[in-house]
Structure 1
Amino acid sequence: MKYLFFDIECASVFKNTAKICAFGYCLTDEDFHILEKEDILVNPQGGFHLTDRKGSQGLVLPYEYKDFKKYPTFPEVEPRIRALLEDPATLAAGHATMNDVKYLNLEAKRFSLSSFRFDFADTQFVYMNRIGVFNRQFGLGSIAEDLGVEFTPHRAADDAYATMKIAEAMCREEGLTFNRLLEKYEIRTGRIENYEVRQNESRAHAAYVEEAQKKKEERERARVEFHNYIDREKRRRRKEGILKNKTVCFSHPLEETLSASKPLAAALFAEGGFYGFRAEECDYYVYFEGESGPRIKSAAARGARLLTEAEFAQLTGRESLRG
């Protein structure tokens, strides 16, 4: 068994296009001895439009952009790339591999080429299964630092090499081959075929997704119940009180904690206040201590008074009612 660790750079990425300009790879044997390492540079046949994840300009690739026009086009290098990825004796792997596989898929469609067909592993997904954390992404650099792998972002082939060293470090820590490591964490590799891409999956990730969905549904039910409670109780609002003609808004986590939100809502109505669901339009914004996020910032920007639920309970003459 051989392993093909690869990384792709694009001149531009949009919803339906990804113009590849570099395919870097590091081919090893099962013991991570390097057999080949190379950057295959590609004429993207289009301008460079490089942004970060927020869409801001600023990403810089470690290549001379003016040189790309002299490189072969994707259809010209595709047979070589395909041979590397589709070798039946080789398992392809990358970091956040779904992105790179999608780029290949888009380029195949762009140039009316046949679909790629290969299985692929994802070292980021393996790392997430090892530490049991699925609610965030881990950059190549942060994983490398955690595993003691030296990493300097540079060319695609160097990123592929760093991905290989991360796989090697995880295997070394557990005394397993890469394939055995996948088996230990019950990871099913992803696959591309017929222009459809299936992501990597595992039992642990499936359990996380199921639990996250249950919690989401519970939050949604609580929000509906809270909205209904507000619609009923607002009819009992007193005309006078310390919150007369003031609008109060709760954070979403507070709204969803009905044991706290309902009594506090009753208290604000008893003090002549109105309830509003828009943080940017309130006079008081109430939240659990330790919360942060855009809604708090919106309320603060408006000049609203920010209070923890305990402070609001004290303001309205109630004890803290968090359940």
Structure 2
Amino acid sequence: MYDIVIIGSGPAGLSSAIYAQRAGLKAVVIEKNYLGTGQIAESERVDNYPGLYGENGFDLGEKFRSHAESLGAEFVEGEVTEIIPNNNDYSIKLDNGNTIDTHTVIYAVGTERRKLMVEGEKEFSGRGVSYCAVCDAAFYKDKVTAVAGGGDTALGDAALLSKFAKKVYLIHRRDKFRANKTLQQKVESIPNVEILLDSQITKISGANKVESISVLQNGNANEIKVDGVFVAVGSVPNSALLKDLADIDSNGYVIADEDGITSAKGIFVAGDVRTKKLRQVVTAVSDGANCVLSAENYLENK
């Protein structure tokens, strides 16, 4: 029986592991991907984590993990299929058939990328449609690409792609970006990035790979020749495992304040899957620490 089972090995989960070890609690991290560190690994550069300016996302994630491992954190690879209430405790079922029993759960599974939901997106996924510019940008050297989205991720993807592609179309359905002003100014100054506001991709076309996109701009339809489409239109919270256990808002995020306390006794939520205004590495790490404190108080009272 564990004191805490931490589901997820991104920054929030790894922070939880670090604080659990320092608190002397018996804890285990369940990670879906072997040696995973979450979506931070896909970030080319992290400019807003204090003390580690300009750090590569993969390297920063590895530092988080190494820190947890150096303190003796335990990791188990597997995908959680069900969280089962068991008296005042929980049984965590894994896809390999194993079950782990615990007094408390820290749920830190993050989000997954939202799809455009247009014709051709699914068909050309991996054949010109990508959701990770850091992973695939180098494949588009001297080619033409499009980025869909208006947040920090989309503008960061456009900036990265501009280093490889000869042309980058940045397509956003609203009349202004949601990204931070510094990033906006940077992207607007890049000569091979063309910004299309009040626009949306309606179709992705091609034979064996992406060859063009249909774009609706201010009511006018245009076809643009591209070699690749990078989708960065937000995220969907991975909250399905808690839908029958804890309160979830209309957007699918698990409802909790900074202490991570959910409506389910003994279940705490950390990171991007939680209701909050700012979803960044620094807030995920903070969530992890707060959840361990909340779990520790819960265990003492129990």
Greater helix fraction, Structure 1 or Structure 2: 1
Instruction: Give TM-score scaled by structure 1 length.
Output: 0.21
Asked which structure has the greater RCO (Cα within 8 Å, sep 6+), the reply is: 2
The structure with the larger Rg is 1
Instruction: Give TM-score scaled by structure 2 length.
Output: 0.22
Greater strand fraction, Structure 1 or Structure 2: 2
